[in-house]
Structure 1
Amino acid sequence: MSNTSNRTPDLFDENGEGANLLWQYVQSMAPDTVSQLSKPTSTEVFQVMERNIVGLLGNLPSEHFGVTVTTNREHLGRLLASAMISGYFLRNAEQRMAFEKSLQSSDRHTSDNG
């Protein structure tokens, strides 16, 4: 869905009651909560997120190129929202995978004892 008008979504709008809702929400969190949410629990999730963000920003290796990314507030907000949604999705997938492995292990243990 593309926003073809020049109107900024309320989430990133500096004016009005809904000004910077996401930023206000993040600022209201305890530092330990932000730290916990910012760090993936597995290297797999970290690598997928890293690849996703690199893919969004561009794939030039920084060791060979002086890469500079310039954007505006709205696009940076959309990148942040996209990264957050991807992170939540990957975390849920990771938890589901762990749950399914646990169930399979439990099923094997039950069938071995039964």
Structure 2
Amino acid sequence: MNDTSNQLPEFLQGAGDASGKLLQYVQSLEPETIAQLSKPSSPEVLQVMERNIIGLLGGLPPESFDVMITTNRESLGRLLASAMMSGYFLKSAEQRLALEKSWSDVQ
């Protein structure tokens, strides 16, 4: 049996060499910049992201259940990647909606 607990997930392989430029870029960002990029641009996007993550993790009400989630690095990485892709999708949809609204205001 191979112990892969200390290995990077497949989508981060090569992050330390020239092929990991995105990871290097993100690691070079100031904490304030990361915080600003991490904030949803609207309450609606925040609500959709919360629902998405709750859907992925399970939606038991915390006031009624003592929920603890355990996972490994790779699964957590996949969850993060899924949340990021959802965020990119929602940001694009929000920008398109704003563009369509501004276009309809011009006509």
Q: TM-score, normalised by structure 2?
A: 0.80
| Structure 1 portions without partners, runs of 5+ | 1-5, 108-114
Which of 1 and 2 has greater Rg? 1
Q: Distance in 2 between matches of 1:54 and 1:62?
A: 11
Structure 2 contact 53–83 (Cα < 8 Å) conserved: yes
Q: Distance in 2 between matches of 1:92 and 1:10?
A: 23
Shift in Å, 1:28: 1.4
Q: Which residue of 1 aligns with 2:55?
A: 55
Q: Which residue of 2 aligns with 1:111?
A: none
Q: Distance in 2 between matches of 1:10 and 1:56?
A: 19
Q: Structure 1 residues 34 and 88, CA, compared in 2 at 3 Å: closer, same or farther?
A: same
Q: Which has the higher contact order (CA 8 A, sep 6+)?
A: 2
Q: What residue identity is the alignment partner of 1:51?
A: R
Structure 2 contact 15–23 (Cα < 8 Å) conserved: no
Q: Which residue of 2 aligns with 1:18?
A: 15
1:9 aligns with 2:6: no
Shift in Å, 1:33: 1.7
Q: What residue identity is the alignment partner of 1:71?
A: T
Q: Number of aligned pairs?
A: 98
Aligned sequence identity (%): 62
Shift in Å, 1:41: 1.0
Q: Which residue of 1 aligns with 2:80?
A: 80
| Structure 2 portions without partners, runs of 5+ | none
Q: Distance in 1 between matches of 2:11 and 2:98?
A: 37
What do residues 49-94 of structure 1 show as CA deviations (whole Å, max 9, x unaligned)? 0000000000101111000000000000000011011001100100
Q: Distance in 2 between matches of 1:83 and 1:27?
A: 19
Q: Which residue of 1 aligns with 2:98?
A: 98
Q: TM-score, normalised by structure 1?
A: 0.76
Shift in Å, 1:24: 4.2
Q: Distance in 1 between matches of 2:31 and 2:64?
A: 36
Larger mean Cα displacement after TM superposition, 21-30 or 87-96: 21-30
